[in-house]
Amino acid sequence: MTEPTIAAAADTPPEKAVKPAKKEDSFPVFVLKLALVVVIFRSFIFAPFNIPSESMLPRLENGDYLLAAKWPYGFSRYSLPFSVGLLPEERILASTPKRGDVVIFKQPPLNDVDYIKRVIGLPGDHVQMRGGVLWLNGKPVPKERIGDFEIPVSENTRCVSAQFAAKLADGTDVCRYPRYRETLPEGKSYDVLDLGPRPQDDTEEFIVPEGHLFLMGDNRDNSEDSRFEAQPGQGIGMVPMDNLVGRATVMMFSTDGGAEWLKPWTWFTAARWSRIGGTF
């Protein structure tokens, strides 16, 4: 008798469910997402700024491009591009700058442009200039004469007057300015320019109000700063800390202004390569 043959039935796996392909974002959606990332980055992390004047010589030159950290002093409406009113005017997560910090800020109602100066006086400080020497809380800030500052004449740089025009041994035209080293009570040192006796070398004593800063340019005789009332073309007065935008952090690029779009090689020859990467 033939035994029944039992055939092992092969397990036939059920058909795999076919997952629908993930729908890729359209190009306009991608652009919107990218724009949102850029806005968040510029508003709360880092933002680029360019230097359009020589009020911060010798540390900053006309044609410098730097990155400013946006978080050190907190955030307000001025942290956002175009000062869009999505944040309050009063800073949130606020902190006070240190003397010697180089800060970017706005000063309405003068205008809505970005300024950059150095923090000299904090709330409650007494600040005065006497004979070109900075006095802070009744004591002179040490001011040491060091080597002259020389900057080549270029599209971005012209000497204040013929008095400061000079020529190097290789024939390069430069502006040569007297340079000094100031050292604040906390030990922060930086270089300043002093072009000689000027009316702004002697001022009244300023008492910095609560919530404000006394700011000055390092180019002491060519800076519209807190020594002057907040008026267009004259000064900025005391600056509310709520107006702070960020703190200068690193030099991103620098150009002497000699580049031309139709001459690509000038993009490289006009760059001040030695200035790139410097920190504050």
Q: Which residues are catalytic?
A: 55, 117
**Phi, psi (deg, nearest 5) at residue 134:** -80, 130
The residue behind tokens 């991103």 is 252
The residue behind tokens 């360019």 is 50
- What SS3 class is residue 246? strand
Question: How far apart are the C-alpha atoms of 3 and 12, rounded to whole Å?
Answer: 27
- What SS3 class is residue 173? strand
Residue 177 class from Cβ within 10 Å (0-12 exposed, 13-18 middle, 19+ buried)? buried
Question: How far apart are the C-alpha atoms of 225 and 234, rounded to whole Å?
Answer: 8
Q: What is the Cα 264 distance to its own chain's centre?
A: 27
Q: How many beta carbons lie within 10 A of that of residue 104, not counting itself?
A: 21
For residue 69, what are the β-bridge partners? 46, 247
The closest of 96, 142, 135 to 239, measured between CA atoms, is 96
DSSP 86: T
The residue behind tokens 């013929």 is 162
103's tokens: 């800060």
The closest of 185, 177, 203, 94 to 139, measured between CA atoms, is 185
